[in-house]
Amino acid sequence: MTDERAQFPLLSSSVGKAPLVYLDNAATTQKPLCVLEALERYYRRVNANIHRGAHYLSRLATEQHEAARQTVAEFLHAASPREILFTSGTTAGINLVAQVLTSSFKPGDEILTTTDAHHSNIVPWQMLCERTGAVLRPIPLTPELRLDTAAYEQMLNPRTRLVAIPCVSNALGAAHPVQQMTAAAKRNRRDTLVLLDGAQSTAHQAVDVQALGCDFYVFSGHKIYAPTGTGALWGREELLEQLPPWQGGGEMIAEVSFAGTTYNKLPFKYEAGTPNIGGNIVLAEALRYVQRVGLERIAAREQALTRRLYDGLAALDGVQILGAREGRGALVSIVVPGVHHYDLGTLLDHMGIAVRTGHHCCQPLMASLGITGTTRYSLALYNNEDDVERALSATRRALDMLR
Ligand code: PMP
């Protein structure tokens, strides 16, 4: 897969004199030529507003946009493209769900999320609780920094209306047993809703929303080689049919009059206004690219590199890795007592190594661990052994300088 690097122009750039080693893929991925070219092609040859257009370009853009929806549906193994709502990303998808569930919640209803959830999988639920009187409860972690599934099963009760779980923690790297946790939620109450946050898993492992058994699945395009401002929310059709629309405007309506408005059918009921037409079309291009490279191949390679990264970091003096070696996504997060993560990140940057430092939008997790942040190394399909070795030796040098 080393040949894939040639597809990503930005990977051959330098930071000062140091060639770039890009290990901030959990924040966003670089884009391959096919994605860059598809975006240019769209704006050069297709650009028009979609739906209801009498003219050729509008028809072309509409066809490509709805074909892109079909591609996303197939990628997620959704039952129908009507279940795919284009969003600007994971955050937008979760907020949409939280908004449309407002009238379904009453005081005392419970929502479970995880201690290691991203703020975008915490705050929208807190806001839903403020609107409805529902209660948000965090699922704790074990001392090994896995989700405490025994505690979770105890927390499930007849008031549990929604469970929202990240497939992979962006701060710890832990891959959570989401299929079993979804099954437990459904055993608790058939109508307990489950939302899975696929922001950190969709680019790294195959997903089948029907096999997972969840009700909603969200992901961000920019973390899977597509442009920022793209993504999708998958929701089970019968649920989306029942739930009310969120934003009002063009496209989401069937008929508007001052006496009252009726709403469009799925998926358009949830897509008010002009969508990110070019972005959504290019998202499909990125998903096809990932399929061509092959998710199994990507997973095997990234897992091997992640283990090498884990072992190499673990061997460095004073480095503490958050979480176990096995059962993780394509990232490793470290803490070095006595060394501030920001100082480490800055020195690594001087050596051309791009990592992310800080709380990773997981302040409740950081508080529970008694730390202010970590240094996170995260991989994508284009990373290779050389990247990992350079990151390890740069980290060793940086730590020597800092201590
Ligand atoms: N959930 C997780 C697990 C994430 O890693 C991220 C991005 N760091 C998000 C949600 C939010 O994604 P976005 O900013 O693309 O909406």
**DSSP line for 169-199:** -TTT-BBP-HHHHHHHHHHH-TT-EEEEE-T
Q: What is the pLDDT along the chain (403 residues), one digit of tens a residue?
A: 658 999 999 999 999 999 999 999 999 999 999 999 999 999 999 999 999 889 999 999 999 999 999 999 999 999 999 999 999 999 999 999 999 999 999 999 999 999 999 999 999 999 999 999 999 999 999 999 999 999 999 999 999 999 999 999 999 999 999 999 999 999 999 999 999 999 999 999 999 999 999 999 999 999 999 999 999 999 999 999 999 999 999 999 999 999 999 999 999 999 999 999 999 999 999 999 999 999 999 999 999 999 999 999 999 999 999 999 999 999 999 999 999 999 999 999 999 999 999 999 999 999 999 999 999 999 999 999 999 999 999 999 999 999 8
Domain at 145, CATH number: 3.40.640.10
In a domain? residue 226: yes
Instruction: Residue 42: give the domain boundaries.
Output: 36-291
14 and 52 inside one domain: no
In a domain? residue 31: no
**Pocket lining: 28 vs ligand 1, CB cutoff 6 Å:** no
Residue nearest to atom 4 of ligand 1 (CA): 199
Position 215: which residue type? D
What is the rounded CA–CA span in Å between residue 170 and residue 348? Answer: 20
287 and 298 inside one domain: no
302 and 278 inside one domain: no
**Total domain count, the chain:** 2
Ligand 1 atom nearest the C-alpha of 120 is 10
63 and 155 inside one domain: yes
13 and 81 inside one domain: no
Q: Is the dihedral of CA 335, 338, 340, 346 positive or negative?
A: negative
Could you give the C-alpha distances from 361 to 60, 118, 225, 297, in angstroms and in order?
40, 5, 21, 30
In a domain? residue 30: no
**Pocket lining: 182 vs ligand 1, CB cutoff 6 Å:** no
In a domain? residue 18: yes
122 and 139 inside one domain: yes
pTM over 0.95: yes
What is the rounded CA–CA span in Å between residue 383 and residue 386? Answer: 8
280 and 298 inside one domain: no
| Last residue of one domain, picked from the residues 241, 265, 291 | 291
CB 214 within 8 Å of CB 178: yes
384 and 338 inside one domain: yes
Domain at 352, CATH number: 3.90.1150.10
CA of 196 to the centre of ligand 1 (A): 12
Ligand 1 atom nearest the C-alpha of 222 is 15
In a domain? residue 28: no
Position 259: which residue type? A
Using the structure block, give the residue that is written with the tokens 């029907």. 210
Looking at residue 255, the DSSP 8-state letter turns out to be: E
Could you give the C-alpha distances from 88 to 38, 112, 227, 321, in angstroms and in order?
18, 24, 10, 32
In a domain? residue 375: yes
129 is catalytic: no
281 and 306 inside one domain: no
281 and 299 inside one domain: no
Could you give the C-alpha distances from 346 to 39, 343, 374, 402, in angstroms and in order?
33, 5, 13, 11
113 and 12 inside one domain: no
CB 200 within 8 Å of CB 168: yes
CB 4 within 8 Å of CB 12: no
Question: What single string gives the DSSP state of each residue in 218-238?
Answer: EEEGGGGTSPTT-EEEEE-HH
| Last residue of one domain, picked from the residues 233, 260, 291 | 291
Looking at residue 133, the DSSP 8-state letter turns out to be: -
Catalytic residue, from 129, 167, 214, 361: name it.
361
In a domain? residue 224: yes
94 and 195 inside one domain: yes
**Pocket lining: 166 vs ligand 1, CB cutoff 6 Å:** yes
| Last residue of one domain, picked from the residues 239, 257, 291 | 291
In a domain? residue 55: yes
Cis previous bond, 337, omega within 30: no
